[in-house]
Amino acid sequence: MITLKNVSFSYDEKQALSNLSLTIRKNDYLMVLGRNGSGKSTFLKLLNGLLLPMAGDVRVENLSTRLHGEEIRQKVGMVFQNPDDQLVASIVREDIAFGLENLGVPLDEMQRRIAAILSKMGIAHLSEQNVNTLSYGQKQLVALCGVLVMQPSCIVFDEPTTMLDPLNRKNVMDMIIRLHTEGNTIVHATNDPREARRGATAALILDRGRAGFHGHAGKVTPSLLRRFGLNA
């Protein structure tokens, strides 16, 4: 579904990713591990065309991110670490509608999809709430709704549980696993290997912008994690 071929990216002088090549297949659950500054966020942003590779090519369903940015952002949704940065409207219902408005979805269809996604996530009662009054856990679910309502086939999560308490962390993780079992492709960057290991089918460990390990999630052992300076 997503192919990276010899991808490199740098911020000014600092090399963030070097010569990375891998394939994410349809319905994979790829956990992306790595220490701070290892290139996880850069890798994720390359997947939906928020960043374009300086060398190499990123293709989503055979479309290059260089040429089909908007089309790709419909296919690859992204949930960020801090939900406060992702919610752009003041009212929950209006925030979820934001992506659909941009895609030009007709009003009836928009209302139907929003009602369905709110009900699926169990937050229909928050529909008319001001987003500033929500807890972090609720905000993260609203942010997820805003992405899912656009019906992407792949969802990229950039450390989505970092700012949450244990209960909300579990809720969001349950939802990610449920989305995977429903047939979505998941890419999940995290600092906590235990968290993603629950549902992951594949793993990528980034180390100073390079793929230190890429393979089956079951092969991620404590000793492997320690080798890359990660908490086992």
Partner 1 sequence: MPRFIGEYTYKDTLLHNLAPQAKILMVVFASALLFLMEFSKLAFILIILCIAAKSAGIAIWKLGALIRPFLALYAMILIFYFIFSPEKMAEGLLTVFRFIILIMVSHVLLATTSISALVRGFESLAWPVKAFGASPRTISFMLSLTIRFIPVLFLEADTIHQAQRSRCSQRRKLRSVSLLVASVVQNTSARAAAVADAVASRCYRTKGTTSINSCRAEAKDWAIAAGTLAVMGFLLWYG
DSSP assigned state of 130: B
Beta bridge partners of 154: 76, 185
Site string for partner 1, 22-51 (x = CB under 8 A): -----------------------x--x-x-
Interface with partner 1, residue 129, by CB under 8 A: no
Q: Which of residues 62-101 bind partner 1 (CB under 8 A)?
A: 70, 73-74, 77-78, 80, 82, 84-91, 93-94, 97-101
Region from 5-13, 54-62, 110-118, 188-196 binding partner 1, contact rule CB under 8 A = 110-118
CA dihedral sign of residues 60, 27, 200, 187: positive
CB nearer to partner 1: give 22 or 115: 115
The minimum distance between CB 129 and partner 1, in angstroms, equals 12
Contact 167, 189 (CB under 8 A): no
Taking residue 27's Cβ as centre, other Cβ atoms within 10 Å add up to 16
CB nearer to partner 1: give 48 or 171: 48
What does the angle CA 134 – CA 118 – CA 138 come to, to the nearest 5 degrees?
20
The minimum distance between CB 144 and partner 1, in angstroms, equals 12
Instruction: Find all residues with CB under 8 Å of 95, minimum gap 6, and list them.
Output: 87, 88, 89, 131, 142, 146
Among 125, 65, 129, 76, CA closest to 99: 76
The minimum distance between CB 91 and partner 1, in angstroms, equals 6
Question: Which stretches of the chain bind partner 1, using CB under 8 A?
Answer: 45, 48, 50, 70, 73-74, 77-78, 80, 82, 84-91, 93-94, 97-107, 110-111, 114, 128, 130-132, 146-147, 150
